[in-house]
Every structure is written in structure tokens, then in C-alpha cells.
Amino acid sequence: MSCPNCGHSLTNATYDNQLVLHCSTCGASFFEANGINRISVETAQQLVADKQEDIIVGQPKHCPKDGSQFVSISEDKIKPHDVTLLRCPTCQGVFVYPDDLLKFKLAQTAKIAFFKNWNKPLPALRTVLVFSFVALVSVSVITGLGTFTQSNVQPSQARDLIKQINITASPDKRYVFFYFSTAVPVSATLAVTDATDDTVQSRTISAELKTLHTVTLGDLNLNHDLWYQITCTDAQGNQVKSEKQRLILTPIR
């Protein structure tokens, strides 16, 4: 079977007892009916990491099982508004791009975990906004800021550039999610220093210029003294580094 998005071959795999048709080229996945709701965030992370290329083909897409044309899922109590989920009207399977899969599972997991802890019913996501990392699926309205005029800009300028930093752990504390926005499009990297055992973990957050930045880190010992620093680079190669700050998880609201 071929990927509805990029046309490359789909592979059959089982994750969390769910059959998934996955494309290693563009990272898209097809789930059988209700299968997307039964996989874990960790599985979503694994599928996203398997992506080789950023490809989204703008044409009608068809179910790899029965050939029916997908329809967009527009109304869903959990689906964030900027996430695209495509459903087969015949078999009810769901097709999703990799980044949208992770956003959907983060929002779904945050919502379920919150109401499990507080024993409340499950209203629409827009009334919840439980963990701060749900902001990663929200649209940020950012005011303009002039491009950098010199390299090695002072930390005070970094504070003007970097907005809305949110840091939240997954419910099982295995992953830490960073989300922030910037006033102008930049590429960004993140360095997390473990002051307890004197190690540094570095990750590219955004290789391309953008204003919304997200990254997921694993293997962080949240019982250690952790510090983080964000480095942003504009189109001209000028850099801004934030001050090192202690990693403090955003509490449940």
C-alpha cells in the first residue's frame, strides 16, 4: 500500500496493540477506527521521530485500505483547532501527519490526566487548557520586533525576543515538553545543564526560521538541579542567548 500523502510505501506495525500503517518517508500514519485514541504519547513520539522528510502534498487523499477519499475531522472535543485529522468515511480509519499526531496526543493526554486527577467530567478542550504545553497547539498573536542589528545580543534583548516559555512534563514524567514563541522568525537550539552530575543535553528546536517553537526531551532526571538556555539565530546569522534559568515545570491550572 502507498502513503496517501507522499506515495511511498507504507509499513505495517503494531503499537500499543494497534495496527498502524506508517510512512517512514514523510512520517504520516494511518490508524484503524479509534486506534489513534489508544496509542500513547511515547508511541506518537516514536512515529514522529521516524520521519525522513517534511512533505505535505496538497491534493485530495484517499484511504490506503479501500480507496475512499478522506474527509477532514472538523468537530472534535479534543482535537486542537490547528491539527489536521483525516477520516475515511467507509472504514472510519484516521490519517494524520506526524507533527499533528504529536500535538493531538499531547492535548488528549493532558486533558485526560487532569480530569483523572481531579475527578471531573471531560468538557471541551477550549474550556480546560490544563497543562501549559497545550499552548503549543494554540495560535499565538505576536507583535513585531525589528531584526537583530548585531551578533551576541545582550540577555535583555533575548527577553524581548523570546515569549511565553512553557515547560511541562508528560504525566509519567518520562518526557519534558518545551514550548515558546518568538517575536520574529528564528531558528533555535536548547541546552539543558544537569548541575547535579555535570552533564549537558543539547537539542535543535527549530532548524528552520519560525515563530512557534516546540521540542520534547527525554532522559532528564527531574530530581536533579536542571538549568536551561535557549539560543536563537535570525536569517542573517545573528544570535541571541537567553540567560540560564532553572528548569521549573509549569504547574497544573
Answer yes or no: are the C-beta atoms of 187 and 209 closer than 8 Å: yes
- Residue 15 vs residue 111, higher pLDDT: 15
Q: What is the mean pLDDT of the chain?
A: 78
CATH topology of domain 132-246: Immunoglobulin-like (2.60.40)
Which pLDDT score is estimated for 111?
A: 61
Q: For the beta carbon of residue 184, count every other beta carbon within 10 angstroms.
A: 16
Instruction: Look at residue 158 in the predicted model and tell me its pLDDT.
Output: 66
pLDDT single digits (tens) 164-214: 687 877 656 767 777 787 888 899 999 999 999 999 988 888 888 888 787
Mean pLDDT for the stretch of residues 36-63? 88
pTM of full prediction above 0.85 = no
- Across the range 151-161, mean pLDDT stands at 57
Whole-number Å distance between alpha carbons of 119 and 41? 22
pLDDT digits (tens, 9 = 90+) for 73-108: 876 666 677 788 999 999 999 999 988 898 888 777
Cell, residue 47:
512515529
**SS3 per residue for 3-72:** CCCCCCECEEEEECCEEEEECCCCCCEEECCCHHHCCCHHHHHHHHHCCCCCCCCCCCCECCCCCCECEE
Task: Name the nearest CA neighbour of 247 among 188, 191, 183.
Answer: 191
Mean pLDDT score, 210-239: 86
Q: How far apart (Å, rounded) are the C-alpha atoms in residues 247 and 151?
A: 26
The C-alpha atoms of residue 164 and residue 198 are separated, in whole angstroms, by: 28
- Domain locations along the chain: 11-109, 132-246
User: Would you give the distance in Å from CA 113 to the centre of its chain?
Assistant: 18
Read off φ and ψ for residue 220, nearest 5 degrees.
-100, 130
Average the pLDDT over 220-235 and give the result.
90
